Each structure stands twice: as C-alpha cells, then as structure tokens.
Amino acid sequence: MKKIYLMFAASIIGASAFAQCTITPLSFGAPGNTNYSIIPDTIANLPLAYVGTGYTTDLQFHIQPDTVTSLGTFPITQVHIDSVSGIPANFSYLANPSSGTFLTPTNSPPGTGYGCVAFTGMAAAGQENGGPASNGIYPLVVYYTGTVVIFSIPTPQPSVKSGYFLHIMPASGINSFEAGVFSVSPSLPNPTDAKTEFILNAVNNGELQFTMYNVLGSIVKTEKLTATKGQNRFDLETSTFSAGVYMCSFRMGDNVVTRRMTVSH
C-alpha cells in the first residue's frame, strides 16, 4: 500500500508542556482547502535556537482525509504521534490536542484534520557543539501511526517522518563585525538559487576550513579558503545542490561559526 506520509508528521518536534499552541486553519487557505501540508516545511525548517535564550516555535499541519492506492481510495480517520527521537535535552513538545491523536473529517465523530505542535526550551552551554556531527544540529525523527479504513476495517499504518532538525547556535548568536572577532555574516541571498555570498571578518591572515552539511549531518562540500585580516567575501555556487536546508561551517583556528542556508530552485 502506498505509504500515507501525511505531512502532518511535523507534529514531531515539540514544545513545552507549559503553553499549548493555537491551531490556525487559515494558515492553509480558505475553509475547504486541500492544502494538506506542514507549516513550516522541511526546507524552511525550524528557527535557530541560541544558548541561554528561551526558544519557542509552532508547527501547524493539515492532515489529508484519505489515501489513494492501487486498490482504491481509503479514508484516513486519525493520526497519532507515537514517539519522537533526537530532541535535545532542555527541549520538549506539546501537541494540540494534547493526546497527540488528530482526527480527520472522515472519523466518526468527525474531527477537523487540523492540529499543531508547540516546541520550546532553552539550550545550555555545550549544546551548540552537540548532535550527531558535533555541530549543534539535532535531526528529529517522528514515529507515528495513521489509521486507514480498508474495506470497512480500521488498519493501523506505522510510518516515520524525518527532515526536521533543531540547530543550536552559540550564545553570541549572529556575531557582529568587531575588530579582533572572527565572524561570518548570514548568506545573501537566502534562500538562494544559483549563488550566495558570505562576508567573513578574520582576526589575522590565515587559512579557513569551509564545510557544508545537509540536514542529515552528511558533508556535501569542503573547501580550504585563504583569508586576510579584516573583511573577506566568500562566494558559494549553489546551482548544483538539491533544494533544501544546509549548514555552512567556517573554522579558523579554534574559532567556528555556522550559518544556516536554504537552497530553493
């Protein structure tokens, strides 16, 4: 059977049990729309988190009410979040409804098919260097079960949604261009199609190591750069990269700055 990858799975990432998110159906369009998706999607992904700064964000989703297979079209009555892996310490999530079970219009009694998940926390010192690749990027994986009624029989369909991640940055956030401080500007433009640029402020003349990661933490590009003391411009060709979110890390000596960049073709 065709996998019912209800984009809803975004209900993954979570937020604090202190504040429940507000469901906003109009985010997907007028009543009766068929925009079954998650906002934000895995390209825009989650906002950056900074060490020592409170973090909160919401994911809104609209669950499709049926799934099409070679045997026909079957109704999806509900989706339930089973578990989420990869959430770093000091962060948590809370769904609305809090049961983590989301009913579609084909359920009896019917639900709305809309839902949201709040994700909150506060990163602690050291978490900016954590994650599978030790770069502050924490991939999130949600395990969920959709119930499909196949020839009048409710049939659980376990599935997995990946592609979301939380990126924790140092407490300094976006470094300013100050004398004696190694810093890197956000890329411009961002999102980018064919080309983007970074402005680097180097403390001394020397060599920089550029490393680019995809959302799974795999290295997709490395390059050694030569910098002179002061501001330097680094142009990055992006036309050959697949659309998605990438982490661009610049290392000079013991200093490392990472910037998030979105490629959108």
Residue type for position 24: T
Shared-domain flag, residues 124 and 252? no
Q: Do the domain assignments include residue 176?
A: no
Residue 48 confidence (pLDDT): 83
Burial code (b: 16+ CB inside 10 Å, e: under 16) for 26-65 equals eebeeeeeeebbbbbebeebbebbbbeeebbbbbbbbbbb
Last-in-domain residue among 169, 193, 224: 169
Shared-domain flag, residues 26 and 150? yes
Residue 152 confidence (pLDDT): 93
Shared-domain flag, residues 134 and 77? yes
Q: Which domain holds residue 43?
A: 7-169
The CATH number of residue 195's host domain is 2.60.40.2550
Give the span between the Cα atoms of 48 and 54, in whole angstroms. 11
Q: Which two tokens stand for residue 62?
A: 């609209």
Shared-domain flag, residues 146 and 238? no
Shared-domain flag, residues 190 and 108? no
pTM attached to this predicted model = 0.63
Q: Any idea which residue has 């750069």 for tokens? A: 225
Residue 150 confidence (pLDDT): 93
Write the Ramachandran bin of 210: left for phi over 0, alpha for psi from -120 to 50, otherwise beta: beta
Tens-digit pLDDT string for the chain (265 aa): 444 333 333 333 333 334 678 898 988 888 889 999 988 888 778 888 888 888 888 888 899 999 988 888 999 999 998 989 999 999 999 999 999 999 999 999 999 999 999 889 999 999 989 999 888 899 999 999 999 999 999 999 999 999 999 988 887 544 444 456 788 888 888 888 899 988 888 888 999 999 998 877 788 999 999 998 888 889 999 999 998 888 888 999 888 888 888 888 8
pLDDT digits (tens, 9 = 90+) for 30-66: 888 999 998 888 877 888 888 888 888 888 889 999 9
Shared-domain flag, residues 81 and 152? yes
Residue 175 confidence (pLDDT): 41
Sheet with strand 195-202: strands edge to edge: 183-184, 195-202, 230-237
Residues 6+ apart with CB under 8 A from 19: 56, 94, 118, 120
Last-in-domain residue among 169, 196, 220: 169
Residues 6+ apart with CB under 8 A from 34: none
**Could you tell me which of 15, 1, 13 has the C-alpha nearest to residue 41?**
13
Last-in-domain residue among 169, 200, 223: 169
Report in angstroms the alpha-carbon separations of 72 from 1, 67, 149, 252. 10, 8, 11, 58
Shared-domain flag, residues 196 and 249? yes
pLDDT digits (tens, 9 = 90+) for 140-158: 999 999 999 999 999 999 9
3-state secondary structure labels for all residues of the chain: CCCCCCHHHHHHCCCCCCCCCCCCHHHHCCCCCCCCCEECCCCCCCCCEECCCEEEEEEEEECCCEEEECCEEEEEEEEEEEEEECCCCCEEEEEECCCCEEECCCCCCCCCCEEEEEEEEECCCCHHHCCCCCCCEEEEEEEEEEEEEECCEEEEEEEEEEEEEEEEECCCCCCCCCCCCCEECCCECCCECCEEEEEEEECCCEEEEEEEECCCCCEEEEEEEEECCEEEEEEEECCCCCCEEEEEEEEECCEEEEEEEEECC
Residue 19 confidence (pLDDT): 64
C-alpha R_g of the chain:
21
Q: Do the domain assignments include residue 143?
A: yes
Residue 57 confidence (pLDDT): 86
